[in-house]
Amino acid sequence: MERAEKIAIASDHAGRELKEDLKEFLKSRGLEPVDMGTNGDESVDYPDYGIPVAEKVSKGEIKRGILICGTGIGMSIVANKFPRVRAALVCDVYTARMAKEHNDANILVIGGRIVGKGLAREMVSVWLDTEFSAGRHQRRLDKIREIEDRVGGCG
């Protein structure tokens, strides 16, 4: 039997409710969510939860991740500090599709206080189902990788 693909998922307190909903949604799609917190409603610092997901994706330990905070802005800033991470903050189905198709985003970031559960599920579905189109877009990702190499972000 084939093992389910693991997807790291984490949130701060503002995204916890949406994270819990998306975990169930991922399971319904035959995926294995790896919950990296938070698991309570008390105020926490989003970097403490974004860092572990970004590290796992950066090191190639997990192929993809989902991060959620109030607006998604903080989590996207944190995640994009890591080499080989392409975290995309999305707000609708179109940006979710483009995140994957044009940017091969390996972390999807959602604002838990901005996006409802139904839309979040749609965005996750589109992101999971869309293929990276490569071509001219690969050339652009190669340039980003060159920046990472130049500033010492990659081993």
Domain boundaries, the chain: 6-150
CA distance 116 to 135: 34
Q: For the whole prediction, is pTM greater than 0.85?
A: yes
pLDDT digits (tens, 9 = 90+) for 119-132: 999 999 999 999 99
Q: Give residue 45's identity as a one-letter amino acid code.
A: D
pLDDT score for 44: 97
Select which of 69, 91, 137, 154 is catalytic.
69
**CATH class for the domain made up of 6-150:** alpha beta
91 is catalytic: no
Select which of 13, 102, 137, 154 is catalytic.
102
Residue 146: Cβ-neighbour burial (10 angstroms; 0-12, 13-18, 19+): exposed
154 is catalytic: no
Q: Which of 108, 110, 106, 122 is nearest to 18 (CA)?
A: 110
pLDDT digits (tens, 9 = 90+) for 27-81: 999 999 999 999 999 999 999 999 999 999 999 999 999 999 999 999 999 999 9
